[in-house]
Amino acid sequence: MLPCCAVRTCHVLVLVLCLSAAEDFDWTKNDRGSFYYGTFPAGFSWGAGSSAYQTEGAWDKDGKGLSIWDVFSHRKGKILQNDTGDSSCQGYYKIKEDISLMKELKLDHYRFSISWPRIMPTGIKSDHVNEKGIKYYDELIDNLLENKITPIATLYHWDLPQVLQEKYGGWQNISMVNYFNEFANLCFERFGNRVKYWITLNNPWSVAVEGYETGEHAPGLKLRGTGAYRAAHHMIKAHAKVWHTYDTKWRGKQKGLVGISLSGDWGEPVDISNQKDIEAAERYVQFYIGWFATPIFHGDYPQVMKDFIGRKSAQQGLGTSRLPTFSSQEKSYVKGTCDFLGIGHFTTRYITQKNYQSGHGSSSYFTDRDLAELVDPRWPDPGSEWLYSVPWGFRRLLNFVKAQYRNPMIYVTENGVSEKIMCTELCDDWRIQYYKDYTNEMLKAIKDGVNVRGYTAWSLLDKFEWDEGYSERFGLYYVDFRNKNTPRYPKASVQYYKRIISSNGFPNQREVENWKRKATETCSSSNQLLAADPLTSHMEMVTEVVVPTVCTLCILLSAVFLMFLLRRHN
Ligand code: NOJ
């Protein structure tokens, strides 16, 4: 038998080895080679995505409860132009229509999210389960399967039931772990016979930082320096609990997989010969994706987060770190709770070291990292202010994930680009370029040995883009929000993505060059249809105004005529 201290040394060694796996990733090598012609492994799954609040609309229909996004978007000044998701794309009423769009693309999978308050109006199971909400997701799932499209269901894409926010403070409160678990368990029970891919949380980074630190997103809290860390801590525990519930209660019967979808920009050192920049870039990525992935794969927060937040908390005179800690039982409970890792990725930043003094009250997630973000002005940025097209960053991120978390099974759960509202151009050649280059970098990553099994274009439709309202359009399909029927029109990128899917990659230069020409050829007819659309919506408006006016006039005239007759009679 080994003496006790030897066992402990072994544990420490194993831990050190686990947490320093980043050494495998070579920061100094950035191979930005030319376009790679080739195909994806057989069985690679191509899809597109959406989320409930962004697309469903029907915010108060059929017994749905309020979510924090319903309440937040109804507050004046929170969303650009005070837009709301009240009706959005009306996806709630358009299951068949939207599935026909997916069929047109020949998608293998569709990623959607289940609105918690639609099926549990208060968020609490013992209060009420809304069967009408369940029926909607039943129909969606059944229709997908009938059309041979695999459903990938996200359990939490940011629409927390408002009651849980008001009663407990939402993700600031540990009780969310059990409430979320009850909701997830109900979803496994009711949909798990048909849904085999589950994503617990979508982009918890955004929920934590934008929901509880900057307040740009619902619930709009500005608890700087603490709120995000607390929310993240509870979300990690909630994710782990749901994974264990599936593992112990459902996996045997249902044979599905449970993962999480983490979003992360890539951080590239400004100067790859400068060790300080390399460390700063790694911090950027660790504070982003590593914040969640390291506990889930290795059992604890990244060492660099513990060091930086711990030191800054001490400098502020705090007795304990603002970063919560996991007990040893919690570490082993959280570790390994991921059957596949969902990656959402859109853009890259250059990173350099920058020190922030930590004084009383000035702490924040952003200053804790001691770094500055930069962009190259030559990078294309067709849409969202933050979204620069930097395809090589995608390959770097995927390789980093491979090195850090022992080559997990990856599904890309979001990747895509927007355009600004002024632009009603369906010939979206910049989106074609973005998809072409990003999927090509993903192909190179697969050749590097990264275990990517599927790709989800973000998004199927234009939709409500959170605090930016409808001003940023990510869709492959254009949605005319001015028309109350919200018709969908294919952008040229539909034709292009369709060809990537049907060829399962990029067969050869000649063919691929033809794709772009063919894709843009068809978009001018769609543009004409769209240009005619205001006329249609105008005609509806005319009907709405003219018909009641004519009716009222008729009634008035008949009354006058009647009075005239009565008077003559008298
Ligand atoms: C990530 C979010 O999960 C998604 O809902 C959003 O549309 C994209 N980012 C683009 O901003």
Give the per-residue pLDDT at 528.
Answer: 78
Give the per-residue pLDDT at 362.
Answer: 77
Token digits of residue 434: 């973005």
The residues pairing with 267 across neighbouring beta strands, listed in sequence order, are 349
Query: 25-56 pLDDT, tens per residue?
Result: 999 888 888 999 999 999 999 999 999 999 99
Calpha distance 6→12 (Å, rounded): 10
Cβ–ligand 1 contact at 472 (below 6 Å): no
Ligand 1 centroid to residue 98 C-alpha, Å: 19
Pairing of strands 150-156, 197-202: parallel
Flag residues of the chain having pLDDT under 50: 1-23, 535, 537-551
Cβ–ligand 1 contact at 414 (below 6 Å): yes
Give the per-residue pLDDT at 407.
Answer: 97
Give the per-residue pLDDT at 255.
Answer: 98
Which atom of ligand 1 sits closest to the CA of residue 416? 10
Give the per-residue pLDDT at 557.
Answer: 62
Ligand 1 centroid to residue 203 C-alpha, Å: 8
Contacts of 107 (CB under 8 A, 6+ apart): 46, 47, 48, 149, 501
Contacts of 45 (CB under 8 A, 6+ apart): 108, 109, 150, 411, 453, 454, 455
Ligand 1 centroid to residue 492 C-alpha, Å: 22
Which atom of ligand 1 sits closest to the CA of residue 463? 7
Cβ–ligand 1 contact at 113 (below 6 Å): no
Give the per-residue pLDDT at 8.
Answer: 40
Cβ–ligand 1 contact at 210 (below 6 Å): no
Which atom of ligand 1 sits closest to the CA of residue 203? 3
Give the per-residue pLDDT at 521.
Answer: 83
DSSP 330-397: HHHHHTT--SEEEEE---EEEEEE------TT---HHHHT-EEEE--TTS---SSTT----HHHHHHH
Cβ–ligand 1 contact at 263 (below 6 Å): yes
Give the per-residue pLDDT at 559.
Answer: 63
Ligand 1 centroid to residue 459 C-alpha, Å: 9
- By most ligand atoms within 8 Å of CB, the mutation choice from 465, 467, 468 for ligand 1 is 465
Cβ–ligand 1 contact at 159 (below 6 Å): no
Query: 104-132 pLDDT, tens per residue?
Result: 999 999 999 999 999 999 999 999 999 99
Give the per-residue pLDDT at 562.
Answer: 64
C-beta of residue 65 within 8 angstroms of C-beta of residue 120: yes
Give the per-residue pLDDT at 48.
Answer: 99
Give the per-residue pLDDT at 31.
Answer: 84
Cβ–ligand 1 contact at 418 (below 6 Å): no
C-beta of residue 506 within 8 angstroms of C-beta of residue 38: yes
Cβ–ligand 1 contact at 404 (below 6 Å): no
Residue 414 appears among annotated catalytic residues = yes
Ligand 1 centroid to residue 413 C-alpha, Å: 10
Cβ–ligand 1 contact at 465 (below 6 Å): yes
Give the per-residue pLDDT at 361.
Answer: 64
Calpha distance 12→188 (Å, rounded): 38
- The pTM of this model reads 0.90
C-beta of residue 410 within 8 angstroms of C-beta of residue 453: yes
- By most ligand atoms within 8 Å of CB, the mutation choice from 466, 474, 479 for ligand 1 is 466
- By most ligand atoms within 8 Å of CB, the mutation choice from 112, 203, 417, 472 for ligand 1 is 203
Residue with the smallest CA separation from ligand 1 atom 7 is: 465
Active-site annotation holder among 210, 268, 282, 414: 414
Ligand 1 centroid to residue 54 C-alpha, Å: 9
Ligand 1 centroid to residue 424 C-alpha, Å: 21
HSE of 152, CA atoms in CB hemisphere, 13 A: 31
Cβ–ligand 1 contact at 344 (below 6 Å): yes
Calpha distance 421→471 (Å, rounded): 5
The residues pairing with 67 across neighbouring beta strands, listed in sequence order, are 161
